[in-house]
Amino acid sequence: MSELEGKRVFITGSGAGIGKAIATLFTQRGARVVISDIDADAAKKAADEIGAAGVANCDVTDEGQVQAAVKQTVDLLGGLDVLVNNAGIEVSSPLLQQSTESFDKIYAVNVRGPFVAMKAAIGHLIESKGNVVNIASIAGIGGSPLLGSYCATKAALIQMTRVAAVEMRPAGVRVNAVCPGFADTAMVERLVPDFEAATQVPFGDLVAMKQGRLGTPEDIAEVAAFLASDRASWVTGSHYVLDGGLTAS
């Protein structure tokens, strides 16, 4: 039997990048995945390509939309076993030069988004003894110039993961996070010019020096699949680092 056979899964921000790779691998491993994104065209395209079970779009900053998308998913799949909080945005700015509006925005997506999604999903996850996989970042562990508010949001997500895991353990719901280093997605492409300008080092050299190679969205999907599966039945409250050794050095 495939690792995720029959698991009913909702993934935010899964029209592209890491979320799409997670949706692809989960589907290949037998899960029934509902794609969700703020970008409806990307979501439809990804769902068609992957052969996903359906699409239930939401902007994770809008609690009503998130609740409706979770309900749509549960109506379609007959329940929910796994919530993947993947939607996230980056801001590249020296921390104290960032506008307060932009600071509020990144919190709304990266912290409040997973919070409202977990609240919307928890009743269903208690019913199925399911689990949550939060896509955090090594930026939630170590500080990085230009990524101040992003680092703060990912640290907050790791802490929410821990607390939710402990609080939900008696109900049989696991909550974990993954913390990738730099992976090959549009998000990193957007960051490259600012990083190169700040360090005067070609980004490829920086990556080679710090983490060997760029991660792939598939690297991250593999760990998410393990955490979502019953093989990880004793894993909760954890944050899994996958960064080619960057944070180890």
Which residues carry out catalysis? 150
| Residue of 50, 55, 122, 135 that binds ligand NAD (CB under 6 A) | 135
Q: How far apart are CA 219 and CA 223, in angstroms?
A: 7
Decide if residue 140 touches ligand NAD (CB under 6 A): no
- Please, which residue, 81 or 195, has the CB nearer to ligand NAD? 195
Q: How far apart, in Å, do the first and last CA atoms of the chain sit?
A: 39
Binders of ligand NAD among residues 95 to 134 (CB under 6 A) are 109
Decide if residue 13 touches ligand NAD (CB under 6 A): yes
- Please, which residue, 68 or 169, has the CB nearer to ligand NAD? 68
Beta bridge partners of 9: 33, 82
| Residue of 182, 195, 203, 240 that binds ligand NAD (CB under 6 A) | 182
Shortest Cβ distance from residue 92 to ligand NAD (Å)? Answer: 13
- Please, which residue, 87 or 156, has the CB nearer to ligand NAD? 87
Shortest Cβ distance from residue 47 to ligand NAD (Å)? Answer: 12
Shortest Cβ distance from residue 129 to ligand NAD (Å)? Answer: 26
Strand 8-11: give its sheet, edge to edge: 54-55, 32-35, 8-11, 82-85, 131-135, 174-180, 239-242
Scanning 3-11, 17-25, 95-103, 232-240 for contacts with ligand NAD by CB under 6 A, the matching segment is: 17-25
Decide if residue 25 touches ligand NAD (CB under 6 A): no
Shortest Cβ distance from residue 151 to ligand NAD (Å)? Answer: 11
